[in-house]
A and B are shown apart, each in its own frame.
Chain A
Amino acid sequence: MPEGMIGQSPVRVDGRAKVTGTAHYASDMAVPNPAWAFLVTSAIARGRVTEINEAEARQVSGVLDILTHRNMRGEVQDAGFFAGGGYTSTTMRPLEDDRVHHDGEIVAMVLAETYEQAREGAYRLHVHYAEENPAAGFDAEGAELVSAKDASKGSFEDPAVGDADAALATAAVTVEADYATPTQHHNPIELFTTTASWENGRLTILEGSQYVHGLRNGIAAQLGMDPSLVRVESPFIGGAFGSRGSLTQRTALVAVAARRLRRPVKLVATRDQGFTIATYRAETRQHVKLGADKDGKLVALVHEGVEVTSRPDPYKVAGTQTTCRMYACPNIRTKVSILHADRNTPGFMRSPPEVPYMFALESAMDELAVKLGMDPIELRRVNDTMHEPIKGLPYTSRSLMQCFDRGAEAFGWKQRNPEPRSMRDGDWLVGVGCASTIYPTHLGAATARVTLTPNGHARVQTAAHDIGTGTYTVVAQAAAEGLGLPLEKVVVEMGDSELPPAPVSGGSNVTASVCTVVMQACEQIRARLAAAAQDGPLKGRDPATLRLVDGTLRAPDGTAEPIADAMGRASNGAIEISAENIPKGLPPDSLKKLYQGRQALGAGLEGKEVAMAAFGAEFVEVRVHSRTAEVRVPRLLGAFAAGRIVNPRTARSQLMGGLIWGMGGALLEATEIDQRRARYVNDNIAEYLIAVNADVPKVDVLFVEEEDRQVNPLGIKGLGELGNVGTNAAIANAVFHATGKRVRELPIRIESLL
């Protein structure tokens, strides 16, 4: 592997700006003379708004305008559900009519000179409802169950192979169990904010976004504008985790308000409003059946899941697509259904399909290992495969067992006494557990512009986003390597829809998708410099062999010319290259969809010729108090193989964060729902519990080397979502080992173990 910036661990190029407060997030960006918006959200989950009494609110000093369905009907057009090829997080249009579809739906927006006045106005706006009995979700009267296949109108098929039921009937050992996962909310620290301003018919939106190009096209469609008249800026993002991936209702409302008031409008929604005006991870119930022969080889797998969604939107994550490809198994049957309830529409949340569905599969695998009297790692080994079992496609690489072996050694797995409830430290029961983790290697079409200036500085422009993952840094590394420049001579501009489009920062695709196209642009620059070099000291060298290294254009024999001189031959000024890339295996219309701002990721496990995924093994130690049953986690360890690691420092942070979040997901995080009222109850981050430092004493991340040039020319597999996939099951498995009690419903709380 040539030496270069890719694979090194520079600190984040934006780190200093962030820790010194000079990095401006969307709501930090100043606009002249803004009016402030405050949302009023519904106090019921189902029914109608019968009356809105504005008199008292209008009297509040500074109140400028109040938007309700009475003056907004028809203002915001349908821009299509994002999961159906459109743009919006829900097909419910904001303030379209008097209907209330879910708890916390926006029913009014109060605009005032200051934030405080808008808030007071909102508190003095009296909304009256005709309430109907809502269905909160599972077990609720009135909730409507449909198969994902039927809901998809033919675009979704439940993967299956062989005859799972027949194989189960004759299997030597079987496991059958029900699992459940809770509603969870992203709760990024940056609240959901939007600023809109108009100038000469052009709209500027400042909003933390994982897809500025999608937001631009979506808002244009909603407002009936040409997308070229809309600009979306999102230079920094204070956490997203999927919550900023699609267009939510608030954006269009703020834009309309700004148009009505003829001045910029700022909205900073409150923490509790964030639970209902954006998306979330829906609760699931799952049923798993495993059949194995006496040596542990799987002969049958049945995985059925039901996911909650809103009334109108058939959102699903369908993690069976992943679980059916995890292990070698000749007979597989899966089924996903969705349950329409009076809830807001769910959406992406870090590893959307894998987190709930892998919890069920990896718990069931542990139960099978117990039943077989087998080490759970050995159970994974006998079922490891280099071909996914549904279509038999080869994995381009799969280092699952290497991860288990490295992880087991570092963790000290051998010291475990497999007997449940056999390990103890004073009043605490000790348990260890492990689970596989997987994340499909998604890729997207991407574009980028790279400019090399005569004095050897580079500028990279692409409408990608740094959602806190380190994208600014890894993209700078790619350009530095491609152009043979030190990192500090590369400037990266992202998070602006005026830049060349890049895909949604979702599905862990960005490092691979964007670095690839940036490298292509750099290669074109190199080729131009090399072609022009024939007039100088590199005369006679084959241009294809000339490389950009250490600020020079260099031949294999060591002859080199400073980049500034080479530039002088190739161009009168800067060299500016725009590149576009459609990754191998993606349909040709991927680029067109990208320019339209639609979601068009591909590859992963559902390609036509190969299957691509990153793998890992996660290990945890838990302690459960023998009397009071609190679960604490002194150690988390993950070993991961994800192709070429562009920046081990930022990659480690991603995986560490994933392990920690997975732990929190297993033990702490749940959005509580008042089942009678179908309303979220703990809608704040004092009571919606997220792991704090005291919960995570020790986290270790190991990288298992993996070379895979089939996934993409740089050999990169995305890993942003890999870390939190296996942790839920690893914790549950460790809790079983500590206590002898199998908990199949998350989160595992004190009362689960009393």
Chain B
Amino acid sequence: MRPFSYERVPDQAAVRRGVPQSATSRAAPVPTMLLAGGTTLLDLMKLDVLRPERVLDINTLAPKLSAIEADAQGLRLGALARMAAVADDAAVRREFPVVAESLMLAASGQIRNMASLGGNVLQRTRCSYFRDVSYAACNKRNPGSGCAALDGYNRLHAVLGTSEQCIASYPGDFAQALIALDAVVEIEGPQGARRIPFAELHRQPGDRPDVETTLNPGEMIAGFAIPAGPWARRSRYVKVRDRESYAFAAASAAVALDLDGDKVRQARIALGGVATVPWRATAAEAALAGQVLDEASAERAAEAAFRDAKTHGENDYKPELGRRTLVRALLEAKRMEIA
């Protein structure tokens, strides 16, 4: 870790005025990062991967940005709501099970108590080559330096949305629920507030793996809005991982189904552990629309979801595991008893 200045953001207006110039400093912008739960940022600072010169603590905004509100329109979640609080919320568990499950199956109890939702969706990849500065080659950490994972150890790396420059997988769980449910991200920043579909928040690596989101400098996530819909209650998150708790997904699937008897009116599907970004499986959704949901149609959907998968050796198993995970999630969601 390198020396940095630490400041508490006094109020939300300071964020709107522009985070890099906010608080006490009027000097030229310095590399600045926001601190919420700290479960990613502090780790990566200690590892020398992230080197902010200024850390702005936004926990002062918690009273205004910790909402967990469910109503007829849907669910509103403040960016500083803690993972554990949302996972434990009775209305979330009843009305949006996939949201509660994705949070509950993530990390450990201690981390869920600390980690914020806004920070969670921005969690950095667990790619070992990104997290260890002794590896010279990492396009995400050091643009243009190459990618050690391509010919290195890549068992947990992505098979969807990869590029020649980066195959790091997006590690989170909650984001799959958000993207499946067409959530909207509420953003605040120097140019004021704006709202974008969650699906537009993350960028695939392409030739710029170092640019992970569409957030502009100085912007922060203020919250999430998840619209209500007939699929929300019949929703499920299946996470397949090596150990029973506190492990990243080898593959996961968030599904939400609007069924007419056995028939699919609409399926919403997102995949985790297999892609470089939160991954909406639109081809799989299309394959299911209007179909009777059974083993065969679920398998066809899973086939469609991984048609473009590209593997790199140790992660050769991922398309097959991803397909099976999706089939399992679809059939389990179909079996759910909805009150």
Where the two chains meet, the residues of A that have a C-beta atom closer than 8 Å to any C-beta of B are 41, 43, 116, 119-120, 123, 272, 427, 625, 627-630, 632, 667-668, 672-677, 681-683, 686-687, 689, 691-695, 749-751, 754
Identify whether the interface residues of B are mostly helix, strand, loop, or mixed.
loop
* Residue contact A750 to B327, C-beta cutoff 8 Å: no
Give per-residue flags for B1-25: 1 if the beta carbon is below 8 A from chain A beta carbons, else 0: 1110000000000000000000000
* Residue contact A692 to B325, C-beta cutoff 8 Å: no
* Residue contact A691 to B243, C-beta cutoff 8 Å: yes
* Residue contact A627 to B328, C-beta cutoff 8 Å: yes
Chain B, interface size: which category? 35 or more
Per the bound structure, the CA–CA distance linking A751 and B321 in Å amounts to: 8
A500: min CB distance to chain B, Å:
42
Per the bound structure, the CA–CA distance linking A627 and B299 in Å amounts to: 12
Q: Given A628-B328, A750-B317, A751-B321, decide whether A676 and B152 contact each other with a Cβ distance below 8 A.
A: yes
* Residue contact B128 to A750, C-beta cutoff 8 Å: no
B236 at the interface (CB under 8 A from A): no
Per the bound structure, the CA–CA distance linking A691 and B245 in Å amounts to: 9
Point out the residue from B153, B251, B317 that lies within 8 Å of A673, measured CB to CB: B153
B240 at the interface (CB under 8 A from A): yes
Where the two chains meet, the residues of B that have a C-beta atom closer than 8 Å to any C-beta of A are 1-3, 48, 126, 128, 132-136, 148, 151-153, 155-156, 238, 240-248, 250-251, 316-317, 320-321, 324-325, 327-328
Please report the number of residue pairs spanning A and B whose Cβ atoms sit closer than 8 angstroms: 91
Q: Which residues of B contact A687 (CB under 8 A)?
A: 126, 128, 156, 248
The residue in chain A whose Cβ has the minimal distance to the Cβ of B322 is: A628
The residue in chain A whose Cβ has the minimal distance to the Cβ of B250 is: A750
Q: Which residues of B contact A674 (CB under 8 A)?
A: 148, 152-153
Q: Which residues of B contact A427 (CB under 8 A)?
A: 328
* Residue contact B321 to A628, C-beta cutoff 8 Å: yes
Q: Which residues of B contact A628 (CB under 8 A)?
A: 238, 240, 251, 321, 324-325, 328
B301: min CB distance to chain A, Å:
14
Point out the residue from A119, A272, A627, A686 that lies within 8 Å of B132, measured CB to CB: A272
* Residue contact A751 to B317, C-beta cutoff 8 Å: yes
A39: min CB distance to chain B, Å:
12
Q: Which residues of A contact B238 (CB under 8 A)?
A: 628
Per the bound structure, the CA–CA distance linking A668 and B244 in Å amounts to: 10
Per the bound structure, the CA–CA distance linking A625 and B240 in Å amounts to: 10
Q: Which residues of A contact B327 (CB under 8 A)?
A: 627
Per the bound structure, the CA–CA distance linking A681 and B233 in Å amounts to: 40
* Residue contact B153 to A630, C-beta cutoff 8 Å: no
Q: Which residues of A contact B1 (CB under 8 A)?
A: 116, 119-120, 123
* Residue contact A672 to B321, C-beta cutoff 8 Å: no
Offer 25 A-B interface pairs, CB within 8 angstroms, sorted by A.
A120-B1, A120-B2, A123-B2, A625-B328, A628-B324, A630-B242, A668-B243, A672-B155, A674-B153, A675-B153, A676-B152, A677-B148, A681-B128, A683-B132, A687-B128, A687-B156, A689-B247, A692-B244, A693-B245, A694-B243, A694-B244, A695-B244, A695-B245, A749-B242, A750-B317
- Residue from B1, B128, B133 whose CB has the most chain A CB atoms within 10 Å: B128
Point out the residue from A627, A689, A691 that lies within 8 Å of B324, measured CB to CB: A627
* Residue contact B153 to A632, C-beta cutoff 8 Å: no
B157: min CB distance to chain A, Å:
11
Per the bound structure, the CA–CA distance linking A749 and B318 in Å amounts to: 12
A269: min CB distance to chain B, Å:
14
Q: Which residues of A contact B242 (CB under 8 A)?
A: 630, 667-668, 689, 749-750
* Residue contact B128 to A682, C-beta cutoff 8 Å: yes
The residue in chain B whose Cβ has the minimal distance to the Cβ of A664 is: B243
Per the bound structure, the CA–CA distance linking A681 and B131 in Å amounts to: 10
* Residue contact B153 to A686, C-beta cutoff 8 Å: no
B169: min CB distance to chain A, Å:
12
Point out the residue from A43, A119, A689 that lies within 8 Å of B135, measured CB to CB: A43
A108: min CB distance to chain B, Å:
13
Q: Which residues of A contact B247 (CB under 8 A)?
A: 689
Q: Which residues of B contact A694 (CB under 8 A)?
A: 243-246
Q: Which residues of A contact B128 (CB under 8 A)?
A: 681-683, 687
Q: Given A628-B328, A676-B151, A681-B153, decide whether A689 and B321 contact each other with a Cβ distance below 8 A.
A: no
Additional 12 contacts, C-beta under 8 A, given A627-B325, A676-B152: A116-B1, A119-B1, A123-B48, A627-B327, A628-B325, A630-B242, A673-B153, A674-B152, A687-B248, A689-B247, A691-B243, A750-B240
Per the bound structure, the CA–CA distance linking A673 and B245 in Å amounts to: 24
Per the bound structure, the CA–CA distance linking A677 and B240 in Å amounts to: 29
B118: min CB distance to chain A, Å:
21
Q: Given A123-B48, A672-B155, decide whether A632 and B324 contact each other with a Cβ distance below 8 A.
A: no
Per the bound structure, the CA–CA distance linking A627 and B332 in Å amounts to: 12
The residue in chain B whose Cβ has the minimal distance to the Cβ of A628 is: B240
Per the bound structure, the CA–CA distance linking A754 and B324 in Å amounts to: 9
* Residue contact B155 to A692, C-beta cutoff 8 Å: no
B138: min CB distance to chain A, Å:
13
Q: Which residues of A contact B316 (CB under 8 A)?
A: 751
Per the bound structure, the CA–CA distance linking A632 and B243 in Å amounts to: 8
Q: Which residues of A contact B153 (CB under 8 A)?
A: 672-675, 681-682
Per the bound structure, the CA–CA distance linking A23 and B298 in Å amounts to: 57
B112: min CB distance to chain A, Å:
14
Q: Which residues of B contact A41 (CB under 8 A)?
A: 134
* Residue contact B152 to A754, C-beta cutoff 8 Å: no
The residue in chain A whose Cβ has the minimal distance to the Cβ of B136 is: A43
Q: Which residues of A contact B250 (CB under 8 A)?
A: 750
Per the bound structure, the CA–CA distance linking A519 and B93 in Å amounts to: 62
Point out the residue from A682, A689, A754 that lies within 8 Å of B317, measured CB to CB: A754
Q: Which residues of B contact A632 (CB under 8 A)?
A: 244
Point out the residue from B3, B48, B151, B320 that lies within 8 Å of A754, measured CB to CB: B320
* Residue contact A750 to B243, C-beta cutoff 8 Å: no
Q: Given A627-B327, A676-B152, A677-B148, decide whether A695 and B317 contact each other with a Cβ distance below 8 A.
A: no
Q: Which residues of B contact A676 (CB under 8 A)?
A: 151-152
B332: min CB distance to chain A, Å:
9
Q: Which residues of B contact A751 (CB under 8 A)?
A: 316-317, 321
A351: min CB distance to chain B, Å:
22
A272: min CB distance to chain B, Å:
7
Closest 6 CB pairs of A and B: A751-B317, A43-B134, A694-B244, A694-B245, A681-B153, A681-B128
Per the bound structure, the CA–CA distance linking A677 and B155 in Å amounts to: 16
Q: Which residues of B contact A682 (CB under 8 A)?
A: 128, 153
B58: min CB distance to chain A, Å:
24
Q: Which residues of A contact B155 (CB under 8 A)?
A: 672
Per the bound structure, the CA–CA distance linking A674 and B128 in Å amounts to: 10
Per the bound structure, the CA–CA distance linking A116 and B324 in Å amounts to: 47
Q: Given A627-B327, A681-B153, A692-B245, decide whether A686 and B126 contact each other with a Cβ distance below 8 A.
A: yes
Q: Which residues of B contact A625 (CB under 8 A)?
A: 240, 328
* Residue contact B240 to A630, C-beta cutoff 8 Å: yes
Q: Which residues of A contact B135 (CB under 8 A)?
A: 43
Q: Given A628-B325, A676-B151, decide whether A689 and B243 contact each other with a Cβ distance below 8 A.
A: yes
The residue in chain B whose Cβ has the minimal distance to the Cβ of A116 is: B1
Q: Which residues of A contact B245 (CB under 8 A)?
A: 692-695
The residue in chain A whose Cβ has the minimal distance to the Cβ of B133 is: A123
Per the bound structure, the CA–CA distance linking A180 and B247 in Å amounts to: 24
Per the bound structure, the CA–CA distance linking A304 and B247 in Å amounts to: 35
* Residue contact A750 to B321, C-beta cutoff 8 Å: yes
The residue in chain A whose Cβ has the minimal distance to the Cβ of B317 is: A751
Per the bound structure, the CA–CA distance linking A119 and B152 in Å amounts to: 28
B323: min CB distance to chain A, Å:
10
The residue in chain A whose Cβ has the minimal distance to the Cβ of B246 is: A692
- Residue from A116, A627, A682 whose CB has the most chain B CB atoms within 10 Å: A627
Q: Which residues of A contact B324 (CB under 8 A)?
A: 627-629, 754
Q: Which residues of B contact A675 (CB under 8 A)?
A: 153
A24: min CB distance to chain B, Å:
25
The residue in chain A whose Cβ has the minimal distance to the Cβ of B131 is: A684
Q: Which residues of B contact A689 (CB under 8 A)?
A: 242-243, 247
* Residue contact A692 to B243, C-beta cutoff 8 Å: yes
Q: Which residues of A contact B321 (CB under 8 A)?
A: 628-629, 750-751, 754
Per the bound structure, the CA–CA distance linking A693 and B108 in Å amounts to: 11
The residue in chain A whose Cβ has the minimal distance to the Cβ of B156 is: A687
Q: Which residues of B contact A695 (CB under 8 A)?
A: 243-245
